[in-house]
Amino acid sequence: MDEAGLRNILSQNIKRYRQRKGWTQAKLAEEMSISTNYLSDIETKRGWVSPLSLVSLANALDIEVYELFKTEKEVTSDLLSSVNKCLDDFSTSLRVSFEKALIDSARKIRKNL
């Protein structure tokens, strides 16, 4: 990967994570204590980011620094894993609730017999 590719990944991820929080560039820039123009330059690949700004970006977006450099495939894979875990957790919770309801219903029926 070359520098242009790295800038592209970084800019896409900043925008993706920023939008996921529902933030404008101005809001993220405010959270980072940087100018909106500087953030815009980073997001549009016209500017580069310092190590300190990388840490500030990650902290403001509630992510780890390395996540800013994940490829779209890695981000998609992580998202699918998270969705699958949520579905598994929900399924388990639903099954447990359903079993408990059946047991409670069976107890009530036995009491009435």
For each successive 10 residues of the chain (113 residues), what is the average pLDDT? 88 93 96 94 91 94 92 68 75 83 82 78
Residue 21's pLDDT is what?
Answer: 94
**pTM across the whole model:** 0.64
In the chain, count H helices and then E strands: 5, 0
Position 109 scores a pLDDT of: 81
64 and 83 share a domain?
no
Q: Print the domain residue range for 101.
A: 71-113
Q: How many domains does the chain have?
A: 2
Residues 105 and 56 occupy one common structural domain: no
Domain CATH for 14: 1.10.260.40
The candidate with the shortest Cα–Cα distance to 69, out of 18, 4, 2, 14, is 14
Pair 2, 55 in one domain? yes
